[in-house]
Amino acid sequence: MLNRSDAPAPWTTRDPRSRRRSLRPAVLTFLFLVPLLTGLFGAPAAPAVQGDELTDARSDQKALASQVAAQRREIDKLNADQAALKDQIAATKAALAGVNADLVAVRQRIDAMIVKIDEVKRAYEVLVIQLDALDVELARVESAERLKREELAERKALLAERMRSAYEVNRTSLLETFLSNDSFTDVLAEMSYYVDIGEQDTALAEQIARDQSTLAALHETVLAVRGQTDELRIETAARKKELDGQLADLKVAQAQLKELEKETKRALAAQKSAYDRLARNKAALAKTVAASEAAIRKLEAKIKEILAEQKRKRNIPSQYNGTLIWPLDGVISQEYGCTGFYMEPAVGSCEHFHKGIDIVAPKYTPIRASGDGTVLFAGPNPYDPYPKAWIVIIAHSEDLISWYGHVDNAVKPPAVRAGETVKQGDVIAYVGNTGRSTGPHLHWMVEHQDAFKNPRLFL
């Protein structure tokens, strides 16, 4: 910009302030002469473009909004994962606190939850890193807002000063200058000063307008993102608190499982010890297993005859409406399926197969009917070699029968007799140690459609 001291020679050879007049006539005269002068000087040059700061500000706004939206999606996903984890932990704790937990299944569930919690922890850590990065971006935008505010203030002050100077100094009439100058060169030099001032003021005003729009965009971004990041930070902290609680709950479940596994291991060790004594004489063991299996098959055939008779008497419903319940609360020493115990017969690909569930409990603990039904048998298996196992067998329908083996026969013999009807939960017998038992426990089997199946399927 040209300062008055930078103007050409006419400003120094003649003092224009000696012919001061009001600003209004000078401006009117200037406007009158502009068409002529612009024809002499040529069209004024357009102000230089120094990068589209408003576009950059809008771009930052969109980028930060995208980051905030991504953070929100991550938190929503974390919420869903933790809600599912909460349900899984609750189900696991209920299973451990319930009757006869399937420890293998619980162990698998806990192992899966450990993996899931690790995933949630990693997701939380990534979320914290992303929040920190968002804070850095927000700080950058806030810094840009401060700088732009300062820059705008400086430009506004500069424009105000120039406007004050224009009004405070009563410039010489342009027409008088044009008419009184001896040299047309002096006129052009003095007119170039005024034309230059007008172009620069216009450019400055336009820049201020752009600065205001840029500042508004930056301020809008800062306000929106600051509020959203505060919300995200609060929600992230809440997720961390919930995660800590879930970790504590999982540790409790792990401790419960460990204790139950110890109890099961002790019961299993006692059974194995008894089996090991039998296994020392493999020939005798094989003979015992074969005899036991033959006795069960003969008893099954007998039960079918009894069932048919009860059906003729209409004492057995065609279908069972409902589910079975656990007959006893205790420690599961053996689940249904393949096993390593020598006393169990081979089934399919399993060298030894356990056809029921063994529930260890103190001797004489009451055993309850798993469901409504008719007692088909209660007493010692007549086909068993010595020592005979005492059994209670209940028909719940034409194709659903439950078996209760090794019940006591001395101090507390079975509480029911064949032909009696029972309701679910009625006491039918007591835990004993009869037959080739390895200690007080109940051997519970469920026969469905002439085949023994996993009792857990009917609970």
Q: Tell me the pLDDT of the chain (459 aa) as tens digits.
A: 333 334 333 333 344 444 444 444 444 444 434 443 333 334 343 344 444 777 877 787 788 788 888 888 888 888 888 888 888 888 887 777 766 777 778 888 888 888 888 888 888 888 788 878 878 887 887 888 788 788 888 877 887 777 676 655 545 454 555 555 555 555 555 555 555 556 666 776 677 777 777 777 777 777 777 777 788 888 888 888 888 888 888 888 888 888 878 877 777 676 667 666 656 666 666 777 777 888 888 999 999 999 999 999 999 999 998 999 999 998 888 889 988 766 677 787 888 788 999 998 889 999 999 999 999 999 999 998 888 999 999 999 999 999 999 999 989 999 999 999 999 999 999 999 998 777 889 999 999 999 999 999 999
Do 296 and 441 lie in one domain? The reply is: yes
Do 227 and 303 lie in one domain? The reply is: no
Do 307 and 416 lie in one domain? The reply is: yes
User: Phi first, then psi: what are they for 393, rounded to 5°?
Assistant: -130, 130
156-187 in b/e form (b: 16+ CB < 10 A) is: eeebeeeeeebeeebbbbbeebbeebeeeebb
Predicted confidence at residue 29, as pLDDT, reads 42
Residue 411 inside a domain? The answer is: yes
Do 230 and 310 lie in one domain? The reply is: no
Structure token digits, residue 81: 């994962």
Do 217 and 354 lie in one domain? The reply is: no
CB 101 within 8 A of CB 261: no
CB 123 within 8 A of CB 78: yes
Residue 223 inside a domain? The answer is: yes
Residue 276 inside a domain? The answer is: no
Containing domain of residue 57, as a range?
53-265
Predicted confidence at residue 207, as pLDDT, reads 76
| pTM assigned to the model | 0.53
225-240 in b/e form (b: 16+ CB < 10 A) is: beebbeebbebbeebb
Neighbouring C-beta atoms of residue 425, cutoff 10 Å: 13
Compute the chain's Rg from CA coordinates: 48
Do 314 and 447 lie in one domain? The reply is: yes
Predicted confidence at residue 283, as pLDDT, reads 66
Q: Say which CATH number the domain at 396 has.
A: 2.70.70.10
